Structure 1
Amino acid sequence: MRITRRHFGAGLAALGLSACGGGLTAPGQTGADSGGLPADLRPVPNAAYDAWVANFRGRAASSGISQSTLSAAFRGTGYLPGCVKRDRNQTEFKRSLEDYLAIAASDERISKGRAAFARHNGTLRTLESRYGVQAEIICAIWGLESFFGERRGDVPVISATSTLAFDGRRGAFFEKQLIAALKILQNGDITPSRMTGSWAGAMGHTQFIPTSYQAFAVDFTGDGRRDIWSEDPTDALASTAAYLEKNGWSRGVRWGGEDPSGTLQPQPGGPRFAVTRNFGVIKRYNNSDAYAIGVGHLADRIGGAGPLRASFPPDANGLTKDDRIALQQRLTARGFDTGGADGVIGPNSIEAIRAYQSSRGLPPTGTPSPELLRSLG
C-alpha cells in the first residue's frame, strides 16, 4: 500500500487557497515568526470538548499512550475555535497556474531559495547522494511548504488535532493524527511546548502531518531525535528526501520541464510541460499538477534557470499579467494600497479595487477589468 502525506489546511495549496501544509506559504501567513497567534487560535472554554478529551484518554491508553504522556501533552491545551472555522471554510477560489507560479516562484522566493541553498549546500548534496533526490527539489519543497523555515506554524499540534477530532467533520482522521502526535511525544522526539505547526497539525520545515512523520521522518543528525522543528532544518530536509525516495523517486531523472510538445497544459493557452515519473512522485507530497510544477520550476530557478519561455493568455477579465501589475501600481499610487504589485489579484487588491470604485461612486464589485485600468490613467 502506498502512503500519502495527505496535505490539508494552511497556505496556498493546489490551485486554490487551502491552508497549512499544503503547499504554498505566502507573505502575511501566520507562522513561527508571526509574533503571536490570532485570538481564535488560542484556547477558549468548551465543556463539550473537555468531556471529549476525558473520554479520549481511555482510547489513547488502549493505543499504548501512557498516562504521563497524556498529562504532559494536554497540559495547557484547549479548544481552538479558529481550527474549526478554517476547516469548515476552506475557500473554493481557484488560482490560475500563472498566478500560482507567480507566488511559488516569485522573485523573493527564488532569491531566498538560492541563499538557503548556498547556506545548506553541503547538507542538500549529502541528501541527494543518500536518497537520490535532486538537491534543488528538496530545497524547493522546503520553500513552498514553509518559505525556507520562516513560516513553520506556531499552533500547538495537540490542541489543533484534538479540536478537529472533537469537531467531528473529519473526526476519525484527526483522532488518528492526535494519536500519532502523542506517540511522537512519547518517543521523545519533541516536547509538547515545541510541537507546533499549522491549524490542521502539519509540522516543521516541510509540513509533515503526524502519521507521515511516523512513517517517513528520519534522524539524519544522529542525535536520537527526528527533529523537524529545529532551527537546523537537516532532519526535516532528510525526512522529505526519504519520503520521496520511499514513494518511488527515480535517481538521476528530472521532474520534467517546459516543452512545446509536452502533453501537460494545466492552463489553456499557457505553457506545456513534458513530465517524468518523478513528477508523479512529487504529487505524492501534494496531489496537484500545479504544486508539482511549482516545485519543479522553483527547483530549476534555484539552480540558475530562467523564467518560463512561453507566455500565458489574458485572464478571464481580459487582463494580462503586465496589465494586472499596472493596475496594482496605479491603485497604490492613488492611495488604494494593494500590498504589492505582483500581478496576482488577491484579497488586498480586491479590497483596493472596491475602495477605489466606491470613491468614484461605482458599484464596489472588486473585479479588475480593462475599463478599470483605463480609468486609472
Structure 2
Amino acid sequence: MMLNKQYAILLPILLAAGCATQPTTQQPTKPVRQGNVQVTQTQTIKVKPAPVIVQQQTVITPKPSYRSFSDWKSDFSMRAMSAGYSSSDVQRLLSSAYLNEQVISLDSGQPEFSKMPWEYADSAASDGRIATGKRKFAEQRSYLSSLESRYGVNAEIIAAIWGMESSFGAVTGNSYLPSALASLAYDGRRQEFAETQLLSLMQLLQRGDVSWSQLEGSWAGGMGQTQFIPDTWVKHGVDGDSNGHRNPWSTADALASTANYLSNSGWVRGLAPFYEVTLPASFDYSTVSTKQPAARWAALGLDTIDDVSLDANTQMELWLPAGKDGPALLLSPNFDVIKVYNNSSNYALGVSLLGNAIVGKSGLRKSWPRYERPLSTSQVTRLQQRLTSAGYDTKGADGIIGTNTRKAFQSWQANNGQTPDGFISQSSASSLTSW
C-alpha cells in the first residue's frame, strides 16, 4: 500500500486563462530507486499550448459611498453609459431593481459558530443527495463521459458540483438578480464586485444567453444549475447543447461550462482531488499543511489507504481536517482547483466525497472525532488577538478560522506542548480563548 509505487503518468491540463506556463507531456523511462523508494523518472517534452482567448470586460470605477440607493442608481447609470453600455439596457436593468435589505444582511452576517469539517461532509454527502446524484449521474452518464474526455475533468466531480450548487438543478435561487447585485453594489462592502457582475449580466442579456424573463438566482449573484456568477459565465460559459446560446439554466450548458471552468483553472487529468493516507507513529507533524513531492511524503512513511500510487514529482499537501485524531488526506492540485467555485477546503472536501459516493466509491476510512466542539465567532476573534499578541501573527482578527489562523495556531502548539496539527477546537484552544 505504498504511496511510491509506479503508476501511469498523468497528462496535466494547464489551460488557466492568462497562464504563461507551457503545458508538457511526460514520457516514462525506467523505474529507479531513491533509498527505499521506487519512483518513475520522467522526461519532459514541451508542447506548444493552444491559444486561450480571454474575453476582456470594461470595469467602471465605483465611488465609495452614496446617500441613497437612488443616488447610486443614477451614478452607476452614468458611469455604465460612459463606458459604452446601451442607455436603454442600463435603464431597463435598473428600473426594476429595488433595495433588498435581506441581501445586505446576508452579505454582512457571520455564523455564531464555525462548523466542524464533518458537518460539511455529512451535509454534502447526505443519503438523499447521494441517491439523487446516482440517479442524475445515470441519466447524464453519456454526456458527462464526453465532457470528461474533452476537458479531462472527472465526470463525478462535475456531477458533484451540480449537486452542491443547485441540488442537481432543483434549486437555482429565487432572488431577483438585478436587485441582489444592485443592493450589494450600493451597500459598499462588495461594490466593485457587484457592479462588475451587473455589467456582465448586461452582456449576457445583449448576446441572448439570458432572457429578461429569466433573472432569478442566488442572493450573491449565482445563476443557473451550477451557480456561475455573470462575469465568470461571460469568460467560461460553453454552448453545451449547440443551440447558439450559452444559458446557465440549461443542464447541458451548465455542466459543460463547469468542466470548461475547472479545466481552464488548471485541472490535471486522471488525478483525484485527495488521497486518504495513514501516518507513521513517529510522524513529524511540523510538515502538516506543507506541499511536498509525492516521493517525499512516501519517504516520510505515508501510505495510501487504497493502495494508490502517485507520480513521484506530483506536489501534494498534507491536510488533517480534524487534527491528529481524524482522517489524514494528501491533497492534489485538483483539490485547489475545486476551490475556484468556493474558496473553502471544507467545500472542496464535500464535493470530492459526494463525487466518490455518486460513483460507488467508499467514504473516508478513518472516523471523525465527533466529540470535538467548535469555537464561537467571538472565541475565534479572541484566539486571533491572543495569538498575534504572543508573536504568532494571524494577519487580522475577523472571527473566521482561515489558513493564517491555523498556521499561527500550529506554531503556538509546537511551542506549548501540543501536537502541532493545526486543529482548532474547544479543547485544543481552551487556554487561549478563556477569560
Fold shared, TM-score > 0.5 on shorter chain:
yes
The answer to whether residue 340 in structure 2 is matched with residue 284 in structure 1 is yes
Q: Which residue of 1 aligns with 2:270?
A: 252
1:234 aligned partner, one-letter code: A
Q: Which residue of 2 aligns with 1:349?
A: none
SS in 2 for 1:285: coil
Deviation at 1:92, TM superposition (A): 5.3
Is the 8 Å Cα contact of residues 134 and 358 (structure 2) preserved in structure 1? yes
> 1:317 and 1:199, CA in 2 relative to 1: closer, same or farther beyond 3 A?
closer
The answer to whether residue 275 in structure 2 is matched with residue 219 in structure 1 is no
Q: Which residue of 1 aligns with 2:252?
A: 234
The answer to whether residue 134 in structure 2 is matched with residue 79 in structure 1 is no
Please show how residues 64-213 of structure 1 align to structure 2 within 5 Å: 64-91=84-111, 93-213=113-233
Distance 1:47 1:274 in 2: 51
Deviation at 1:180, TM superposition (A): 1.4
Deviation at 1:194, TM superposition (A): 0.5
Sequence identity, in percent? 42
TM-score normalised according to structure 2 size: 0.60
Deviation at 1:314, TM superposition (A): 3.4
Tell me whether 285-294 or 234-243 shows the greater mean CA deviation.
285-294
Q: Which residue of 2 aligns with 1:266?
A: 321
Tell me whether 111-120 or 266-275 shows the greater mean CA deviation.
266-275
Give the strand-richer structure, 1 or 2: 2
Deviation at 1:179, TM superposition (A): 1.3
Deviation at 1:2, TM superposition (A): 6.2
2:326 aligned partner, one-letter code: G
1:311 aligned partner, one-letter code: S
1:257 aligned partner, one-letter code: Y
2:345 aligned partner, one-letter code: D
Deviation at 1:104, TM superposition (A): 0.6
Deviation at 1:168, TM superposition (A): 1.1
> 1:178 and 1:274, CA in 2 relative to 1: closer, same or farther beyond 3 A?
same
> 1:178 and 1:90, CA in 2 relative to 1: closer, same or farther beyond 3 A?
farther
2:264 aligned partner, one-letter code: K
Q: Which residue of 1 aligns with 2:261?
A: 243
SS in 1 for 2:169: coil
Q: Which residue of 2 aligns with 1:297?
A: 353
Deviation at 1:251, TM superposition (A): 1.3
Is the 8 Å Cα contact of residues 104 and 298 (structure 1) preserved in structure 2? yes
> 1:90 and 1:142, CA in 2 relative to 1: closer, same or farther beyond 3 A?
same
SS in 2 for 1:185: helix
Is the 8 Å Cα contact of residues 240 and 253 (structure 2) preserved in structure 1? yes
Deviation at 1:140, TM superposition (A): 0.5
SS in 1 for 2:223: coil
Is the 8 Å Cα contact of residues 17 and 264 (structure 2) preserved in structure 1? no
Match of 1:314 among 330, 345, 370: 370
> 1:198 and 1:305, CA in 2 relative to 1: closer, same or farther beyond 3 A?
same
Please show how residues 330-349 of structure 1 align to structure 2 within 5 Å: none
SS in 2 for 1:58: helix
Distance 1:292 1:208 in 2: 16
Is the 8 Å Cα contact of residues 254 and 276 (structure 1) preserved in structure 2? yes
Q: Which runs of 4+ in 1 moved over 6 A?
A: 1-4
SS in 1 for 2:77: helix
TM-score normalised according to structure 1 size: 0.69
Is the 8 Å Cα contact of residues 156 and 193 (structure 1) preserved in structure 2? no
Distance 1:211 1:93 in 2: 32
1:225 aligned partner, one-letter code: H
Distance 2:134 2:265 in 1: 27
Q: Which residue of 1 aligns with 2:331?
A: 275
Is the 8 Å Cα contact of residues 113 and 148 (structure 1) preserved in structure 2? yes
Is the 8 Å Cα contact of residues 195 and 229 (structure 1) preserved in structure 2? no
Q: Write the deviation string for residues 128-153 of structure 1: whole angstroms up to 9, x where unpaired.
A: 11111010000001111111111110
Distance 1:275 1:130 in 2: 24
Deviation at 1:260, TM superposition (A): 1.8
Deviation at 1:51, TM superposition (A): 2.7
Is the 8 Å Cα contact of residues 201 and 210 (structure 1) preserved in structure 2? yes
2:273 aligned partner, one-letter code: W
Distance 2:181 2:333 in 1: 33
Is the 8 Å Cα contact of residues 100 and 183 (structure 2) preserved in structure 1? yes
Q: Write the deviation string for residues 50-109 of structure 1: whole angstroms up to 9, x where unpaired.
A: 232122111111232212222332343211111111111132531111111010101011
Deviation at 1:216, TM superposition (A): 0.8
Deviation at 1:246, TM superposition (A): 0.5
Distance 2:16 2:79 in 1: 27
1:249 aligned partner, one-letter code: W
Give the helix-richer structure, 1 or 2: 1
Distance 1:186 1:93 in 2: 43
Tell me whether 173-182 or 157-166 shows the greater mean CA deviation.
173-182
SS in 2 for 1:193: coil
> 1:97 and 1:190, CA in 2 relative to 1: closer, same or farther beyond 3 A?
same
Tell me whether 157-166 or 259-268 shows the greater mean CA deviation.
259-268
